[in-house]
Amino acid sequence: MHRLFAQFLLALITLLFPLSACAAEAFRVPILLYHRFGATVADGMTITTPVFEAQMKYLHDNGYKVIPLRQLVDCYRGKAPAPGPKSVVIVEDDAHKSVYSDMLPIIKKYRYPVTIFAYPSAISNAKYAMTWDQMRALTKTGLFDIQSHTYWHPNFKKERKKMSQAALDTFVMTQLKKSKVRLESEMRSKVDMLAWPFGIYDDYLINKATEVGYGATFTIERRHATASDSISRLPRYLLVNADSGKAFVQLLEGNAVKRNVVY
């Protein structure tokens, strides 16, 4: 009798709260984070265009499958199956102009999906950033998705030291809301993912992001995303030019060389 009741209870729980394939199956997916590209290494976060192309070719030639970030997020939400054993995600922060000039031709060649985390204050304003028309051209390829990187890329640790709690609350909510609203208005698409500027986050910030409507947020940690990670704290590898050749292979295998990157 007790056994039958236990079986009934398990069946009822499974019906009411189905376990997603994502949660049920172990997986490890590297989220590769890029910032800018160019002929030479202008700073710590510039990857030379030949190095980037070699990385994309390596993925293609060695059986890796680049999946949309949205697909991975849907897995955590129970809306998609667990990604395969050689799945990889590609993202970019800041919407740098070299995405349009250098990254786009290579991405189109391999037909890889990419998510751009943009902060709207720079778009069509800063010399280093893309324009809204360029961003729209990216999305028209069907390969790019535009998501939020706050409104002007603040350092929340520094801002917290200067503000009262009430002022901080207002500031954070403005950064999160204004970015989401502007991006959705300009790009005519849903914005519900957020990359934390400088990788800075804590429970307070995550709660604020959830209030605004961000269902997934992303950090900067040199490790793979796994089934045990929280959808509000998904790690990403910040790639530098030295992550090429053997170092890139090690990273994909989960044995990345430790880096100290100055933003």
Between the alpha carbon of residue 246 and those of residues 31, 36, 58, 253, the distances in Å are 18, 21, 11, 11
101 close to 259: Cβ distance less than 8 angstroms: no
Residue 143 lies in a domain: yes
Query: How far is the C-alpha of 59 from the C-alpha of 235, rounded, in Å?
Result: 20
Domain count, the chain: 1
Residue 261 lies in a domain: no
Q: What is the mean pLDDT of residues 249-263?
A: 87
Residue 242 lies in a domain: yes
Residue 51 lies in a domain: yes
Residue 259 lies in a domain: no
Residue 234 lies in a domain: yes
**139 or 13: which leads in pLDDT:** 139
pLDDT band at 263 (very low <50, low <70, confident <90, very high): low
10 has a pLDDT exceeding 50: no
Q: What is the mean pLDDT of residues 17-21?
A: 44
102 close to 108: Cβ distance less than 8 angstroms: no
Q: What is the pLDDT of residues 214-232, one digit of tens each?
A: 999 999 999 999 999 999 9
Q: What is the pLDDT of residues 49-97, one digit of tens each?
A: 999 999 999 999 999 999 999 999 999 999 999 999 999 999 999 999 9
Residue 184 lies in a domain: yes
Q: What is the mean pLDDT of residues 183-189?
A: 98
Give the per-residue pLDDT at 24: 55
Structural domain harbouring 75: 2-252
The contacts of residue 204 (CB under 8 Å, 6+ apart) are none
Q: What is the pTM of this model?
A: 0.91
Residue 81 lies in a domain: yes
Q: What is the mean pLDDT of residues 165-171?
A: 97
Percent of the chain, pLDDT > 90? 86
The SS3 assignment for 234 reads: strand
The CATH number that applies at residue 35 is: 3.20.20.370
Between the alpha carbon of residue 254 and those of residues 28, 48, 55, 88, 225, the distances in Å are 9, 23, 16, 12, 10
